[in-house]
Amino acid sequence: MAGTWDDRAGIENGDRPSSGGSPTARTTRGPSAASMPSAGRSVALYLAIPVLVGVAGATTLGLSFTGLLPYLPTAAVDVSYSFLRMLAAYAASLGFALAYGYYAASRPTGERVMIPVLDILQSVPILGFFPVAIVFFVNLTGPGSWLGPNIASVFLIFTSMAWNMVFGVYESLKTLPSELREAADTFGVRGWKRFQRVLFPATVNRLVYNSVLSWTGGWFFLVEAEIFTTNSHALPGIGSYLSFAASAGNGEKFVAGLLMLVLVIALLDFAVWRPLGRWAERFRYDTSPSGEGEVAGPNRDPSGRFRRAAAYVTRGVRSGVSRVTTPLVQLAAITVRPVRKPTAFQRSAFYYVALGAILVSVWLIVIAITVAVFHIFTGPIAPWVRGDLLLVPFAVAASTARVAGAYAICLAIALPLAVFVARRPRASRVGLPIIEVIASFPATALFPVIIFVLVPYLSPNGAAVLMLLTGMLWYLFFNLLSGVRSLPPDLEEAARSYGLKGRQFFRRVLFPGIFPALVTGSITAFGGGWNTLIVAEYLQVGAHQSLSVLGVGQMIDIGYARAPAGYPLMVAALFALVATVIAINELLWKPLYRRAAEQFRYD
């Protein structure tokens, strides 16, 4: 039936953009085909993962499987508590994302304020606000109420989920080809019908992909929130379950909890996200003006929903932020403008010295303001807090160094791994789904083990860096993989035909080619790192076991733990951290990002 000759012409010219149709070419390059195994294989895979976790967990700890069984029901109950919290937060995020994204995309004045605000909010380490949120909501609902900590944790999960979904909605509305809007105009499609037929469908694809990542991030923070509150306002949930199990040294209980968590995550992935992702493919639209097969942004990359989603998260970075940051950048530029013509090295050295100086003064200002505010409103500050307040700059510096160190290790692992996986299509077809499921497992669930079991071997600092690693690695890996994958094959072929190899190839082709992905990945990885700090630097469960290293996360936690005298410390440390994160984003990452966008583009 497709036998009219013009159709055949369309298929023969399958590679021509204008023929667009070429369904065969599309599906082989399509996102699902490359990384998605067949149904049978994926069932096996999904069953294999929980079983493997169980077996590995049990055998390494020398446990019997029958020992696990009694704990499974209670673990299941705790997982469902956690799941309900996730569901509530997700529903809130979805509504928020649609409303906020829609208004930001359709009102120019809204956009000018809403998007930069969102960009700042999403780059701020939300977990740092968790202690503040607990204090706030617990006071609001009255001490002893189960509602307060629950709202606080749902709020925390919401904040981790919402941003990237908002950006998903916003960007899909902004990149919706103008002809699709115009076509609606020409037929007089307005109001609700327009939303239902045109605008909402346009957001579906991104929303689904970003939801996958939102859930991944959500689990991470959920577990972290539940571990965090174990000591004060214990929330029944899988995080506190694991935390209690680990602190009691109960291996069977711990593995049972882990098993349930993995089961739920794998089940969700298999029964919800994969089918939903396939369905959402229909809502993809082509953004190039001529309506050809080109697809927007990271969507162009053919495989891995997780990777695509990861890339989306940071796409907000580029949206309209410069308005807010230009004054800061100009200030920095003035500060570093030297008298004589300096070398490039001197110039950048000046820049970073100035950056450091600005940071330190901001820390001091933040501390001073906090002290003043608390002094006025709550009276004199306790002596021990005063001493600790002076340590805040050192703590922020130590934390920054820790995150940077963990980042370096991540890079050393992720870059070779990404190149390796990208170069082996067959290996990645089997390996990627496994990596994806592992990546969507919240590493925070393993923190109790790291803290209670590995600290003696690793030293507290090593354990902290290890935990940071788990919160950073995936972002970098998936972004780099996407970067290597989307390197145009003809650029590589050209390099080979000129005999470029080894270091030369890396410097001239690979590095410039993946630089944008590297920057994006680094931004997200650092974002993950800042968030992980809060648990990685200080955790106390029970009377004896604890982890504590000098850092801003530790300061926030100590301030929270020794309420109410500690509040000034908590607030000062939090704002110093926020200032640092914003400054590093604005003055380091975004200039790099802009450069990446301008210089290393090849499309």
Nearer to other proteins, 187 or 457 (CB): 187
Q: Write the CB contacts of 330 (distance below 8 Å, at least 6 apart in sequence).
A: none
98 binds other proteins (CB under 8 A): no
Say whether 307 sits in a helix, a strand or coil. Answer: helix
179 in Cβ contact with 291 (< 8 Å): yes
501 binds other proteins (CB under 8 A): no
Q: Give the DSSP H or E segment for 524.
A: helix 511-536
Nearer to other proteins, 288 or 599 (CB): 288
Nearer to other proteins, 201 or 236 (CB): 201
Nearer to other proteins, 103 or 283 (CB): 283
Rounded distance between C-alpha atoms, residue 573 and residue 553, angstroms: 8
284 binds other proteins (CB under 8 A): yes
Rounded distance between C-alpha atoms, residue 545 and residue 510, angstroms: 46
Q: How far is the CB of 31 from other proteins (least distance, A)?
A: 13
323 binds other proteins (CB under 8 A): no
19 binds other proteins (CB under 8 A): yes
286 binds other proteins (CB under 8 A): yes
Binds other proteins by CB under 8 A, chosen from 25, 26, 96, 324: 26
Q: How far is the CB of 209 from other proteins (least distance, A)?
A: 15
447 in Cβ contact with 509 (< 8 Å): no
Give me the half-sphere count of Cα atoms (radius 13 Å) on the Cβ side of residue 261.
Answer: 29
Say whether 63 sits in a helix, a strand or coil. Answer: coil
Closest CA to 448 of 370, 546, 379: 546
Per-position x/- string for 167-206, each x denoting binding to other proteins as judged by CB under 8 A, each - no binding: ----------x-xx-xx-xxxxxx--x---xx--x--x--
283 binds other proteins (CB under 8 A): yes
Nearer to other proteins, 187 or 345 (CB): 187
Instruction: Kindly state the DSSP code that residue 28 receives in the 8-state scheme.
Output: H
Dmax over CA atoms of the chain, in Å, equals 87
Instruction: Kindly state the DSSP code that residue 283 receives in the 8-state scheme.
Output: G
87 binds other proteins (CB under 8 A): no
- Give the interface segment with other proteins, choosing from 7-15, 91-99, 208-216, 508-516 (CB under 8 A): 7-15
- Give the interface segment with other proteins, choosing from 2-10, 393-401, 438-446, 506-514 (CB under 8 A): 2-10
Residue 448 carries which side chain, given as an amino acid letter? Answer: P
Determine the size of the site formed for other proteins (CB under 8 A).
43
CA 313 from chain center: how many Å? 7
349 binds other proteins (CB under 8 A): no
Per-position x/- string for 201-230, each x denoting binding to other proteins as judged by CB under 8 A, each - no binding: x--x--------------------------
581 in Cβ contact with 125 (< 8 Å): yes
472 in Cβ contact with 525 (< 8 Å): yes
5 binds other proteins (CB under 8 A): yes
292 binds other proteins (CB under 8 A): yes
282 binds other proteins (CB under 8 A): yes
28 binds other proteins (CB under 8 A): no
Closest CA to 447 of 378, 537, 375, 369: 537
132 in Cβ contact with 226 (< 8 Å): no
275 binds other proteins (CB under 8 A): no
Closest CA to 472 of 422, 554, 533, 431: 533
Nearer to other proteins, 26 or 300 (CB): 26
Give the binding site for other proteins (CB under 8 A): 1-2, 4-7, 9-11, 13, 16, 18-23, 26, 177, 179-180, 182-183, 185-190, 193, 197-198, 201, 204, 282-286, 289-292
